[in-house]
Structure 1
Amino acid sequence: MDSGTILVTGASGFVGKWTVIELLRAGFSVRGTVRRPDKVPAIHAAIAVQVGGEALSRFTHVETDLMDDLGWPEAMAGVDAVCHVAAQILAEEPRNADVVIRPAVEGTERVLRHAQAAGVRRMVMTSSIATVAYGHGHDRGRRVYDETHFTQLDRMRFTWAYCIGKTRAEQAAWTFARANDMALTTIHPGAILGPALDDDASISLLMVSDLLNGKTPAMPSNGFSIIDVRDVAAMHVAALQNDASIGERYLAAGDYTPFPEVGQILRQAYPSRTITQKIVPDWIIRVLARFGGPTRQIINDIGNEKHFDRTKGEALLGRPLRSSKEAILAAAESSIALGVVRPN
C-alpha cells in the first residue's frame, strides 16, 4: 500500500503524533482519533513544524474513545487501513488494573470490530515487548528474545497491568484476524525515547527528564531495550508499504541499556547538571514490588538482561535502528527545549 487514507488511533500520543507525521511524509492522507479535542491544536502544530502546511492539509481528526462505540463508524468510513496506536500507560501500577487492561483489550476489540464492519481489512497494531519476553523462567543472566516468543502470563511470578493488557490485546487481535480474514501486523517497541514534539509526551520520557531535573534520587540496576520513537513510527509505515509483513510480528527494540548507563550518558552530555549515581539495591526493589507502585513494573527485569533480536525489524525498515544513545540524547534535548526540564 503506497497511498490512501490511514486511520491512526491515539493521534495525540507520543507514538501517535510521530506515526501521523511519518505517514504524511510517505504521501498518505491521515485521519487521527482523539479522545480530547483540546489536544488537536498541538497535533496540528507538531505536524506543521515537521512536514509543513501541505501535509497538514491531508490530516483530519475525529473524536472517539476506546471504551465507547460513539464515533467509530465515522472514524472508519472511507479509510484504507488502520494503525492502532492508542494505549493507556501509567507511571505507577494502578490499584485497579482494569483502568489499563480494559482499554487495551476492549479497545482493541472495538477497533477491530468497527474496522471489519466498515470493510477495512488492513491493520498495523502497536503492541510491546511486554507481550514477548515474560513468563519464560528467565530470572538471571542474559537472554535474547525474538518474534517467536510470546509472554506466558500464567507463568509470571509478578504480573503488572500494562503487561496483562497488552498481552491479552495482542492475543485478541490475532484471534480476530484469523477468524475474519484481517490482514494484521504487530509492532513491538521497547522503552520508547527520542524527540518529544510537545510537553504532552510519553511516560517513558520521565526516565530522562526526571534524571535531568534531579527528581530521581537513586536508580535501579536493571536495563531496558531502548527504541527511538521515530523508528517505531517508521516501522508502522514500512509494514503498511510491504504486504510481506501481513501476519507477522516485528520487534522494535534496540540496545539494551542499564539505567545507570542512561545516567552516565546524560552526565557526559550535561556535566553542569547534578544527576544521581546512586543505585537502589535489587533486594529493596523486590520488597517494594510486593506493594505495587513503579517497582512492580520493573521487578521482572531485576537480575537479568533481556535482549531483543533486531534482525527482522531492521530488514523491514531497510536500515539499522538508531542507537539508544541517540534516542536518550534526543529525548533530553527536546525535554529541555520544551521546558519539561528546568533551566540549569
Structure 2
Amino acid sequence: MSTDKNNQQTVLVTGGAGFIAVHCTIQLLNAGYKVRATLRNLDREAQVRNMLLEGGVDAGERISFIQADLSSDINWAEAVKDCTYVLHVASPTPKLKFTHEDEMIIPAREGVLRVLRAARDAGVKRVVLTSAIGAIVYGHPNQKEPFDETTWTDTTGDAPAYQKSKTLAERAAWEFIEKEGKGLELSAVNPVGVMGPVLGEDYSHSIYIIKNMLSGKTAACPKVNSCFVDVRDVADLHLRAMTHPAANGERFIATAGESIWLAEVAKILKNNLGEVAAKVSTKQIPNTLLRIAALTDPIAKSIVPLLGIIMNTTSAKAIELLDWSPRSTEEAIVATAESLIRLNLVDKP
C-alpha cells in the first residue's frame, strides 16, 4: 500500500497517545506516510512507541512528536508546518463531575478552531475531524429509522454535556471552513461506541463496558442500546476521508452495523470466550433501580437519559461513497475482550 508519493507527505495526528489516534498512526505509517503527533506531555512518547509496537509497527524516525495542548496557541504553527493533512483526533476527556458544562464545551470548540486556523495558515490540504455520534443522535424523539449524517444533536435539549461539546465543536468547525477556511478542506468522522484491539493502557470509554463485564463489576446490564465499531475500521475511515475527493465537505458515521442492547454484548462475550467470560452477567437491571441509584451516583445519572432509547445508526454513506467495509459488531467486541485479556488489563476481584 505504501507509495513514493505518501513517503513525501507528513500527516499531523493530534492527541497522539489516544486510542483512535494510535490506530490512525499505525495505518498511516503502514501506508507510507510520515507522522507528526502532538502530545500534551512529551514524557508519553515511549508509551506511544510501545503501543505502536503492540500494533505491529516499529516507527523509528518515521514518527516525530511535538508538545501541543488544545487550550494554548503554543507550538500549533510548528505542529502543522509542512503537513499535507491533519487528523484532528484530540478532544477534551469527558468529565463526570463538573460545575458547568462550559468546562467541556469551551475547550472542545476552541481547540478545534485553534487547529483549523493553524492548518489553514500552513497551507494544509485537508483536515479530518474526529467528531462523534454524540453530535448526531441526542435530543430527538425515539425513532425507528436509523440516524444518518443529516441529523444534528439538539443542544437546546437535555443532551449530556460531553455530547453537547462534540456537537458544538463540529458545528464550529464547519462554520469556520465556510467563513474563514480559504480553501482548506474538511471531513468529519462520527464514530459510535469504539471497540477493538487495545494496545496499552490508553483506550476509549466504550472499552470499559467490556472490561467491567469481564471483571464481574457489571452485576447486571442497564437497558442501554448502542452501535459499536472496531477502532481499526475507524482509523481506516479516517484515511479514506483524508484522501478521497468525494469526502471533502462531508461527515461520515462509523458503525459496524445495527445497534444492540448491552445484555446482547454480554451474550456475545459469553458465546465466544468460554471460561474467561465466567464473570460476565447477561442479566438486565430494572430501569427503576437505576433511576434510584442515579440520585447519588454520577455514572448512573449519566446513563438514565439513555434508558430504553434505540440508538440505531447507518454507515451507508461511508460504505457507498468511500468503499468502506467495516468488521462485524461481534468481531469488534471479541477483539476488545481478547486484547484486554492478553495485556492483563482485566481487573482482578
Task: State the Cα distance separating 1:172 from its structure 2 match.
Answer: 0.3
Letter of the 2:80 counterpart: M
Letter of the 1:37 counterpart: L
Letter of the 2:262 counterpart: F
Assess if the C-alpha contact under 8 Å between 1:121 and 1:183 holds in 2.
Answer: yes
Alignment of 1:1-344 (within 5 A): 3=6, 4-53=9-58, 55-90=59-94, 92=96, 94-138=98-142, 142-154=144-156, 156=157, 158-179=158-179, 180=181, 181-255=183-257, 256-272=259-275, 273-286=278-291, 288=293, 293-342=298-347
Task: State the Cα distance separating 1:290 from its structure 2 match.
Answer: 6.6
Give the Cα separation in 2 of the matches to 1:303 and 1:19. Answer: 33
Stretches of structure 1 lacking an aligned partner (at least 5 in a row): none
Task: State the Cα distance separating 1:323 from its structure 2 match.
Answer: 1.0
SS in 2 for 1:305: coil
Write out per-residue CA displacement over residues 170-192 of structure 1, whole angstroms, 9 at most, x where no aligned residue: 01000001112321000000000
Letter of the 2:203 counterpart: A
Gap change, CA 1:136 and 1:69, over 3 Å in 2: same
Task: State the Cα distance separating 1:311 from its structure 2 match.
Answer: 1.0
CA RMSD of aligned residues (A): 2.2
Assess if the C-alpha contact under 8 Å between 2:123 and 2:184 holds in 1.
Answer: no
Write out per-residue CA displacement over residues 177-229 of structure 1, whole angstroms, 9 at most, x where no aligned residue: 11123210000000000000112222211100111011112211121110110
Give the Cα separation in 2 of the matches to 1:291 and 1:104. Answer: 28
Stretches of structure 2 lacking an aligned partner (at least 5 in a row): none
Give the Cα separation in 2 of the matches to 1:257 and 1:147. Answer: 20
SS in 1 for 2:346: coil
Task: Provide the TM-score with structure 1 as the length reference.
Answer: 0.92
Deviates most, 233-242 or 98-107 = 98-107
Give the Cα separation in 2 of the matches to 1:165 and 1:30. Answer: 27
Give the Cα separation in 2 of the matches to 1:40 and 1:191. Answer: 26
Letter of the 1:14 counterpart: F
Task: State the Cα distance separating 1:340 from its structure 2 match.
Answer: 0.8
Give the Cα separation in 2 of the matches to 1:254 and 1:196. Answer: 18
Task: Provide the TM-score with structure 2 as the length reference.
Answer: 0.90
Assess if the C-alpha contact under 8 Å between 2:55 and 2:199 holds in 1.
Answer: no
SS in 1 for 2:187: strand
Give the Cα separation in 1 of the matches to 2:231 and 2:261. Answer: 19
Gap change, CA 1:250 and 1:47, over 3 Å in 2: same
Higher relative contact order (CA 8 A, sep 6+): 1
Letter of the 2:164 counterpart: I
Give the Cα separation in 1 of the matches to 2:134 and 2:292. Answer: 22
Give the Cα separation in 2 of the matches to 1:201 and 1:309. Answer: 24
Letter of the 2:24 counterpart: T
Gap change, CA 1:338 and 1:29, over 3 Å in 2: same
Give the Cα separation in 2 of the matches to 1:258 and 1:163. Answer: 20
Q: How many residues align?
A: 339
Gap change, CA 1:323 and 1:91, over 3 Å in 2: farther
Gap change, CA 1:90 and 1:217, over 3 Å in 2: farther
Task: State the Cα distance separating 1:322 from its structure 2 match.
Answer: 1.0
Write out per-residue CA displacement over residues 106-144 of structure 1, whole angstroms, 9 at most, x where no aligned residue: 111111122122222410000011111122222xx6331
Letter of the 1:260 counterpart: A
Task: State the Cα distance separating 1:285 from its structure 2 match.
Answer: 3.6
SS in 2 for 1:142: coil
Give the Cα separation in 2 of the matches to 1:211 and 1:94. Answer: 27
Assess if the C-alpha contact under 8 Å between 1:235 and 1:316 holds in 2.
Answer: no
Letter of the 1:204 counterpart: S
How much identity, in percent, do the aligned residues show? 35
Task: State the Cα distance separating 1:150 from its structure 2 match.
Answer: 1.1
Task: State the Cα distance separating 1:260 from its structure 2 match.
Answer: 0.3
Write out per-residue CA displacement over residues 89-118 of structure 1, whole angstroms, 9 at most, x where no aligned residue: 337354443342232111111111221222
Gap change, CA 1:34 and 1:129, over 3 Å in 2: same
